[in-house]
Structure 1
Amino acid sequence: MHHTTALFIELGAVILGLGLLGRLAGRIGFSPIPLYLLAGLAFGHGGIRPLSASESFVATGADIGVALLLLLLGLEYTGSELAASLRAQYPSGAVDFVLNALPGALAALLLGWGALAAVALAGVTWISSSGVVAKSLGDLGRLGHRETPVIVGVLVIEDLAMAVYLPVLTALLAGLSLSEGGVTLLIALGTVGTVFYVAVRHGHHISRAVSSDNPELLLLVVLGLTLCVAGLTQELHISAAVGAFLIGIALSDEVAEGVRGLLAPLRDLFAAVFFVFFGLSTDPADIPPVLAPALLLAAVTALTKIATGWYAARRAGVGAAGRWRAGGSLVARGEFSIVIAGLAAGTEPRVGPLATAYVLVLVLLGPLAMRWTEPLARRLGHLARARATTPPAAPRASREAEATGTP
């Protein structure tokens, strides 16, 4: 069969399959991400039938998917909103890091994987899935709730922290010296700081420059600018995803609204391809040996994320119900965890299977935690209050004496 013919058939089957899986996920009320990962595992190396003709195209599409995920996330914020959120939520961000990065690092060390794997696995357990959380908030009708800005603030701090973490991880994985790694980190911080300053102070000029009444021209200009900046940041040893996120922050007002509508379908397509690609690159036979550690790590970090959200909402003066909802909303892990594991796969291949199993568990548990954390906490609170107000039972002898009338 001709290569182009095989590519069309194979790629068409992949996209059609993703559409059917997405429809199934929508009917059962779950994120489609775990189904996409499972599909990648089924047709990757060691799976039912490896994809050969479309593998390189899927790999490129996966990189585009990460950039578009972070671009559209950045479009949700203006520079001033982001600055205000950082000022208000940075203590919560510190608590988030301590509670959720340390379990991953300790797990890698206890498994005997070494310091490099510990740094990578700390990132995997630290970062919540902005995509899953944002979609679930909309599906549950909670975008207007008082705790939602708190949730968004924690997510933004995590995403910005990636601008520092990912260059450091990349430098460590590349085996750079301390001086080379320091230079890489300085370049990353300088680049992020410059773009952030431009987004806050001059974002309206950028929006005006790319603005167009023609949807086709607007799509081409913004998509081209995003990919160029993503490529340049990648060349500077900064994640392409961070560059795309900063471009999204720089666009505002009507431009952001128009771009969001134009690029959302492309994001959904290439993001699905990204999750499939990660599954393709993981051998299913590598998962059973790490399933038990993944389940234990998922249980621990689900609780630490709930504690993080509860603390952040409490600092913001949110009531008890909103605190529990905030905690449950942060449980899901997803895109960034997979990105980190993908970066580490070449040097620390053991991280990939554990991250895949871990994300599968928490991306399933995340929507459930959003729905049931607050009702469960309320029910437990009612039970505790009922026990506190119930008078203690009289001794048996006293009850018998009352019944017989004897003193």
Structure 2
Amino acid sequence: MIHQVSYEFFFAGLSFLLLFAIGYTLKKFRFPYVLSFMLVGILLSLILAPQKDSPVMFKILEHIAVPLLFFFIGLDYSFEKLRGAVKIFLPGIIDFIFNFIFPFLIIHFGFGLGFIDSFFLASVIYPTSTAITSKLLFDYKRLANPEAEFLINLLIFEDLVVILLLPFLYFFSGIKTEDSFPDFQDYFLLIVKLIGIFLFFFILYRITKRLSDFLDRISDEDIFIFLIFGAIILFSEIPNIIGVPASVLSAFLLGVVIPETKTKNRIELSISPIRELSIGVFFFLFGYKMDFTLEKINLTQLVFILAMTFVFKFASTYLSGIIYGLRKISALRGALSYCIRGEFSFVILTLHEKIKGISFFALVVNIVLGTLLFAYATKIAEFIFIRKQKS
């Protein structure tokens, strides 16, 4: 027993040291932390293959990582801000058609995969990485560019669509075969419960607005972190108890209802280290548990999926940018910068075992190539338009 506990703590300590060392080293080459964390997981899984089980403390952090991630996404929004994002609606719909509907139809009818497998793969392909794209916009000092506002608004639209899709993806993840597909009544009950969750958080939003002064006062307490951390875990688990797979939606809405006062800043300062720790462990364990048996991968499907992550996203972003009102060079620069997948795709990937292998390899290659494409987007756009002007 003592030996087992010692091994778990040794494994945890080694993992955290490697997460820092490799993450810090690869950051010098602008390597996204998401890939660094997964790389450490892959490395340790190859070294410690006989003992694949991870420490209990890691399992707890893995479980709370996703609700924490979506809670922090919710903190960036408010009900007023969500109502104000009207201008992005048409570009967002175009983005959804190109990057969800088209891939779903190609995978379902072209590859012959079932409805659920196709739905999950299309969901993996659809969202651009908010974390990586926004970080690169900052790192490359492009937040002042004309396309930056458009890209950020489009990221917001995609975030909301993914958050609305996730309850259905969790719902589908419990279906073992296409034959056991739920009937209309199951869908109706799910939608009614989701509407109930939205109403609950809207009422909570009205209450927190009235209590904003009280929340500001207690946010100065050293033990305020217990209130917030407990609320995130509690509210994200309540939907599961009532039979609604909407833990991430609840965590997101809890972030939205927090008033834009001193309380919000205090929460971000208090919980940020736990979020970074949990998300690092989440992606580390994703790489650690991954089965890298190449025989299971259909290379033709892999190439097609990888191509779809670039071709459809580039085309839809360029078209959407023009509709949004950008000049052609700005729309092209934006389209070249918007192809990177990331955290949302990996979260979706964990829900459906059958698509893990093929999607994982496609996503890793996409992040590497997409980051390079972002880095050279300005030069490529200028080269194309300067050459056009000369001719």
TM bracket (short chain): 0.7 to 0.9
Cα distance in structure 1, aligned partners of 2:138 and 2:221? 26
User: Which moves more between the two structures, 216-225 or 11-20?
Assistant: 216-225
Shift of 1:202: 5.3
The one-character-per-residue Cα deviations of 1:275-315 (angstroms, maximum 9, x if unpaired) are: 11222232111477245533432233223222333333333
Matching residue of 1:61: 61
Please list, as runs of the form range in 1=range in 2, the aligned pairs for 1:6-405 lying within 5 A after superposition: 6-44=7-45, 47-50=46-49, 51-52=51-52, 54-85=54-85, 87-105=86-104, 106-107=106-107, 109-175=109-175, 176-192=182-198, 194-195=200-201, 198-199=204-205, 204-205=209-210, 207-211=212-216, 212-214=218-220, 216-235=222-241, 236-251=243-258, 252-286=260-294, 289-345=297-353, 349=354, 351-387=355-391
**Residues 29/124 of structure 1: CA separation in 2 closer, same or farther (3 Å cut):** same
Cα distance in structure 1, aligned partners of 2:318 and 2:11? 46
Q: Which amino acid aligns with 1:297?
A: I
Shift of 1:99: 0.7
Cα distance in structure 2, aligned partners of 1:368 and 1:202? 46
**Residues 363/261 of structure 1: CA separation in 2 closer, same or farther (3 Å cut):** farther
**Max Rg structure:** 1
TM-score by length of 2: 0.87
**Residues 41/127 of structure 1: CA separation in 2 closer, same or farther (3 Å cut):** same
Shift of 1:109: 4.6
**8 Å CA contact retained: 1:206, 1:250:** no
**8 Å CA contact retained: 1:210, 1:221:** no
**Residues 286/239 of structure 1: CA separation in 2 closer, same or farther (3 Å cut):** farther
Matching residue of 1:3: 4
The one-character-per-residue Cα deviations of 1:181-208 (angstroms, maximum 9, x if unpaired) are: 2211331243235425754x55534654
**8 Å CA contact retained: 1:207, 1:250:** no
Shift of 1:103: 4.7
Cα distance in structure 1, aligned partners of 2:350 and 2:282? 11
**8 Å CA contact retained: 1:41, 1:283:** no
Cα distance in structure 1, aligned partners of 2:8 and 2:153? 42
**Helix, strand or coil: the match of 2:87?**
helix
User: For this pair of structures, how many residues does the alignment match?
Assistant: 379
Cα distance in structure 1, aligned partners of 2:183 and 2:70? 30
The one-character-per-residue Cα deviations of 1:107-127 (angstroms, maximum 9, x if unpaired) are: 355333311100100100011
Q: Which amino acid aligns with 2:34?
A: I
**Residues 69/97 of structure 1: CA separation in 2 closer, same or farther (3 Å cut):** same
**8 Å CA contact retained: 2:337, 2:373:** yes
**Residues 229/116 of structure 1: CA separation in 2 closer, same or farther (3 Å cut):** same
Shift of 1:229: 1.2
Q: RMSD across aligned C-alpha pairs, in angstroms? A: 2.5
**Residues 37/113 of structure 1: CA separation in 2 closer, same or farther (3 Å cut):** farther
**Residues 151/184 of structure 1: CA separation in 2 closer, same or farther (3 Å cut):** same
Cα distance in structure 2, aligned partners of 1:317 and 1:111? 37
**8 Å CA contact retained: 2:72, 2:255:** yes
Shift of 1:132: 1.4
Cα distance in structure 2, aligned partners of 1:196 and 1:316? 30
**Helix, strand or coil: the match of 1:28?**
coil
The one-character-per-residue Cα deviations of 1:136-188 (angstroms, maximum 9, x if unpaired) are: 22222233444333222222222222343222223233233331122113312
Cα distance in structure 2, aligned partners of 1:144 and 1:209? 37
Identical-residue share of aligned pairs (%): 21
**Residues 107/230 of structure 1: CA separation in 2 closer, same or farther (3 Å cut):** same
Cα distance in structure 2, aligned partners of 1:378 and 1:335? 30
Structure 1 stretches lacking a partner, 5+ long? 388-407
Cα distance in structure 2, aligned partners of 1:145 and 1:275? 31
Q: Which amino acid aligns with 1:362?
A: N
Shift of 1:17: 0.9
TM-score by length of 1: 0.84
Cα distance in structure 1, aligned partners of 2:338 and 2:94? 13
**Helix, strand or coil: the match of 2:376?**
helix
Structure 2 stretches lacking a partner, 5+ long? 176-181
Q: Which amino acid aligns with 1:214?
A: D
